[in-house]
A and B are shown apart, each in its own frame.
Chain A
Amino acid sequence: MSILEIKNLSYKYGVGTPFEIAALENINFSVEKGEMVAIIGHTGSGKSTLIQHFNALLKASEGQVLLDGKDINESRESAHKARFRVGLCFQYPEYQLFESTVYKDIAFGPTNMGLDKTEIDRRVRKAAEFVGLKESMFEKSPFDLSGGEKRRVAIAGVMAMEPEVLIMDEPAAGLDPRGRKVILDLIKNYREKTGSTVIIVSHSMEDVASVADRILVMNKGKIAFNDTVDEVFSHEQELREMGLNIPQITKIFSELKRYGFNLNAATYTVDDAAEEILRYLHKGGN
């Protein structure tokens, strides 16, 4: 069964004023339990607005958001609960740290859930482990940490709520290649260990290609594509027109195919690409 289902969702800014703008138009899609979905789109495509509906931060002008089959906006209480069931980690989350210690900051979410001390403690430790924070850091001030460490504390703060669905908005933004890899690996690891549903929002195709099961491409407030990674990347031209970049490897493969090389175009990592080309060459060309 779908854990998250979006039905005919539309969202307008400034309703009732002459400045009314439709930010989202008739969005329909669902996310299965345990799936890893990537939402891609350039700035202003509506992707950030969309994810804020998943935990009831925004209320749709029309349509519904169903979590486990139930409308999250059914009551004030269900909307509040949705915050914990759907964990949303915003872009540059390190700028939202506020507590005096790392431990307390990670515990903020679980404390708001009204859990008891031992349960909070268990969750904080588990989340810290997921993001690779050592216990010796618990009593440090989050403001004394390095940029990458701060980001991991902030991510742990959302993971500690143990949400059924974890949404990460540009988790690797602004990090260097090593930092990006660390963050993406920890998300992968988190998903494997917990079996949670993960939605990752990004404008970097390279990052999501290797981790996502499915890609949802947003353009001008609408869903442009909702398909497997292979299928979405085959629409190179359209993606480019939407201001999105496709991975270099995909670029190379689709171009080579155009020149008549019989290669599998659904290739987007260096390892797969090398293997595919070698296979092709050993077969002796066409």
Chain B
Amino acid sequence: MIKDITIGQYFPGESFIHKLDARAKLIVVFLSLVEIFLCKNFLSLAVVVIFAIASVAISKISFKVVLKGMKMIYFIIVLTSVLQIFYNDEGTVLLDWWKLKITTGGIFTAIFMAVRIICLILVSSLLTYTTSPTTLTDGISRLLSPLNKIKIPVDTLAMMMTIALRFIPTLIEEIDKIMNAQKARGADIDSGNLIQRAKALVPIFIPLFVNSFRRAYELAFAMECRCYNGNKKRTRMKQMKFSWRDAVSFVVIAVMLAGIILLNYFFGAVI
């Protein structure tokens, strides 16, 4: 069921990673994503693999949850790796059939790509798992606050983000309810060809849109009642402060960067 989606979900906790400043966490995640792309051989890749696994362990979020969250993207991982197998024709030929040729080089690249994507997802999903969406948008808006100077309404955009995140579960629940109600009137949603299926969505999406407008209207009233005004300066209950943890994580990421560059340099690139 659609209710089972865990991507973007937040698991409250007290771990080192949970306690990192959201801004620091965003920067660290961004840098580690860059580093994952910089890896050119299996040794440097091993460094980021260890980094990713260690991060999950430190966050105290069970691997089971993390793996379950990746379920949705298994397909993408498999597809990219399979494409790599056929795209690369270096190394010993293992299989040559019709126009398809599988080589050791292809297999290597495939594995390399798969590991790389998994690391990317691990690190980035850890960001949302350990940071409440509001804190996260807050962090983004503070990092981007210089953009206010060139008249980009960062705070308003961040508010929109927060509200969107807040209403995703509500809307998913609503879709579920509407779907059941239309099924109860005999709507056939699960079968038929593409056009029939698209048509079957009309009874679901029209009420969903109508209800969403109603919600938006009521929410606007409620926000006005609580003195929200997009242009006014707001204060925040939760202050953001860099701590020793953030310094530690910056050091880790810097050491890792140096390590990857050195490993790439000394052991050559396989990719």
Contacts and interface: CB of A to CB of B under 8 A. Distances in A.
Question: Are A and B associated in one complex?
Answer: yes
A109 B185 contact: yes
A80 B207 contact: no
Interface stretch (B11-19, B90-98, B174-182, B237-245): B174-182
A95 B207 contact: yes
Interface in A151-176: 157-158, 161
Interface in A185-238: none
B203 interface: yes
B177 A90 contact: yes
Interface stretch (A59-67, A81-89, A252-260): A81-89
* Size category of the binding interface on chain A: 20 to 34
Interface in B202-248: 202-204, 206-207, 210-211
Given A95-B177, A96-B182, 20 more contacts: A57-B184, A80-B186, A80-B188, A83-B186, A84-B186, A87-B184, A90-B181, A95-B174, A95-B211, A96-B177, A96-B207, A98-B204, A98-B207, A108-B187, A112-B185, A112-B186, A112-B188, A143-B210, A161-B185, A161-B186
Nearest to B68: A17
B203 A83 contact: no
Contact of A158 (B184, B207, B211): B184
A97 interface: yes
Contacts of A80: 186, 188
A90 B184 contact: yes
Given A95-B207, A97-B207, A108-B203, A52 B186 contact: no
A82 to B, nearest CB: 10
B180 A57 contact: yes
B186 to A, nearest CB: 3
B59 to A, nearest CB: 19
A250 interface: no
A33 B183 CA distance: 24
A41 interface: no
A113 interface: yes
A10 interface: no
A75 to B, nearest CB: 14
A55 interface: yes
Contacts of A83: 183-186
A55 B184 contact: yes
Interface in A250-278: none
Nearest to A143: B210
A93 interface: yes
A90 B180 contact: yes
Contact of A96 (B181, B186, B188, B202): B181
Contacts of B181: 90, 93, 96
A161 B183 CA distance: 13
A201 to B, nearest CB: 13
A52 B207 contact: no
Interface string A114-127: 00000000000000
Nearest to A94: B207
Contacts of B184: 55, 57, 83, 87-90, 158
Question: A55, A88, A98, A143 — which one has the most chain B CB atoms within 10 A of its CB?
Answer: A98
B167 to A, nearest CB: 15
Contacts of B206: 98
Given A95-B211, A97-B207, A98-B202, A112 B187 contact: yes
A236 B20 CA distance: 54
Contacts of A109: 185-186
A158 B185 CA distance: 7
A5 to B, nearest CB: 20
